[in-house]
Amino acid sequence: MALPKLNESIKYTTKIPSTGKEVKFRPFLIKEEKILLIAMESQDQKIIINAIGDTVNSCMIEDIDIFEMPIFDLEYLFLQIRSKSVGETSSVNIGCKSCNHKNEVIIPIDDIKVTNPKTDKNIKLNDEITLSMQYPSLNDILKTNALDNNTEIERNMETFYACLEAVETEEERFMVKDEPHEEIVNFVESLTSSQFEKIKKFVDSIPSLRHTLKFNCESCDTENTRILQGTNDFF
């Protein structure tokens, strides 16, 4: 006789930040928590991102392609899954700015929000050419992190390329995903500094998990303010 199955009826709902779509999910199980703990212990960004992606994919009840989802949506969904799985607070250790004493600070997960600055996704380079921008997906991040032999500058450039959705002229619209990578590199490298700065401004304003944390050091009582951003900062 087979053992009974547990936790099949436990479901929660949340909304995807970028679209407002309501989705259902379940808490992660011991098998998934084990994978996450091993990934966090590795301190390897590639392993951590893969583990988070696989966990969210397993826990979503909806049919969603999480690998094509903007990375901040994925991080937010992981946060919601984690809150219903192991508790609705997170404990982080943060060094005091004065004495470097490590303080354990408790953060209510509901206080962690996705920043969503008002950003124009259309960048006008000149009178003839406009760029349509997009947020990088989990797949884009995984591809960038797979470039072990590349410098940090080259990996940052790959992020810029991933944010390009289309190049538009008055006559045509070129979808970047349909163009050879070499063509995209040549196009970006032909930009002036002021034109490239517009792309950089868009990349710098990509939404992210963000929380401003204030605490008094338990050792010297100095008031500290720390901005936490991205999944790694919260766990």
Q: What is the pLDDT of residue 5?
A: 63
Q: What residues pair up with 25 in beta bridges, in sequence order?
A: 12, 60
Question: How many other CB atoms are there within 10 angstroms of residue 5's CB atom?
Answer: 7
DSSP state of 110: G
Query: pLDDT 10s per residue in the chain (235 long)?
Result: 566 666 666 799 999 998 899 999 999 989 999 999 999 888 888 888 889 999 999 999 988 899 999 999 999 999 999 999 988 888 899 999 999 999 999 999 888 888 877 788 999 999 999 999 999 999 998 888 776 656 778 888 998 999 999 999 989 999 999 999 999 999 999 999 999 999 999 999 999 888 999 999 999 999 999 998 877 777 6
- Domain definitions of the chain by residue range: 9-87, 93-109+208-235, 122-204
Question: How many other CB atoms are there within 10 angstroms of residue 203's CB atom?
Answer: 16
Give the Cα separation of 155 and 143 in Å (integer).
Answer: 10
- Residue 208 contacts residue 229 (beta carbons within 8 Å): yes
Q: What is the pLDDT of residue 154?
A: 84
Among 213, 220, 217, 221, smallest CA distance to 106 is for 213
Q: What is the pLDDT of residue 151?
A: 77
In CATH terms, 9-87 corresponds, of 1.20.58, 3.10.450, 3.30.2220, 2.60.40, to 3.30.2220
Q: Which residues contact 221 (CB under 8 A, 6 or more apart)?
A: none
- DSSP H or E run through 145: helix 138-145
Instruction: Judge if pTM exceeds 0.95.
Output: no
CA dihedral 83, 135, 205, 152 (to 10 degrees): 100
Give the Cα separation of 32 and 58 in Å (integer).
Answer: 8
Q: Whats the size of the chain, residue-wise?
A: 235
Strand 173-175 to 164-168 pairing: antiparallel
DSSP string, 207-231: --EEEEEEEE-TTT--EEEEEEESH
- Residue 53 contacts residue 139 (beta carbons within 8 Å): no
Give the Cα separation of 92 and 98 in Å (integer).
Answer: 18
Q: What is the pLDDT of residue 7?
A: 60
- The per-residue b/e assignment along 85-110, b for 16 or more CB within 10 angstroms, e otherwise, is beeeebebebebeeeeeebebebebe
Torsions phi, psi for 173 (to 5 deg): -130, 115
Which tokens hold the place of 225?
């303010």
